[in-house]
Amino acid sequence: MNKRVKVEFSDLEARLGYRFRDADLATLALTHLSAQAETGGRIQSYQRLEFLGDRVLGFAVAAHLYAAFPQASEGELSMRLAKLVRRETCAAIAAEWDIGPHVVLGLGEARGGGRKKAAILSDVCESLIGAVFVDGGFEAARDLIVRAWGPRMTADGEPARDAKTAVQEWAQARGLAAPHYEEAARSGPAHAPHFVMRVVLAGYEPETGEASSKRAAEQAAAQAFLDRWSAK
């Protein structure tokens, strides 16, 4: 990194509340696939760190919710988890960290507004969590997550909204058949799976959700559907 980048990144580290020991790891966490493509694969992208960060985030949030809501059922905890780890929430956290200016993009992606795209911001949010985990261990990553997500994890004193029920009621009110859920993808080892579930409702484009359990992924998919269609 040159001096200007180091100064800028120190500002990001201050917002994260974490200083990296390995500067190259931090750079990797901020490097999008489009930058890798333009160098002919000579540099790596954040994808592996994003994969790791997604799992670390899910575990840390689940553990925090388990302690914060001792009377909550498994279903309620799953709903809360799905809301907290979904793409929109991660993108909002990334915006609060002001990650955009630090993301390394290919020229075309940069010109296309990539620094403001929710999908990229969400991915980099997770890759930074993965990088902190590798650089400083689980406690450092957990502390980062609790600082950033803490208010969101404890703000709702009332049970979280049941997104699947809301989608079913939304469909019934319009005389539609009940929605159903399909497994779109599954990855990861047996002890730490990652599911992508799809909600299907006749006449509407399917929406997907991701989580470490099918139930939570279904809730995430239902919430994505509500975010897109409930106000229309």
Give yes or no: 11 in active site: no
Dihedrals phi, psi of 200, to nearest 5 degrees: -120, 125
CA angle 55, 57, 63 (to 5 degrees): 100
- Return the structure tokens found at 16: 């994260």
* Identity at 168, one-letter amino acid code: Q
Place of tokens 């502390």: 143
* Residue in 50, 54, 123, 207 annotated catalytic: 54
Beta sheet of 180-187, edge-to-edge order: 180-187, 194-200, 207-211
Coil/strand/helix, residue 188: coil
* Residue in 50, 109, 126, 135 annotated catalytic: 126
How far is 58 from 202, CA to CA, in rounded Å?
31
Give yes or no: 123 in active site: no
Cβ atoms of residues 64 and 204 within 8 Å: no
DSSP notation for 116-143: G-HHHHHHHHHHHHHHHHHHH-HHHHHH
Q: Which residues are catalytic?
A: 54, 126
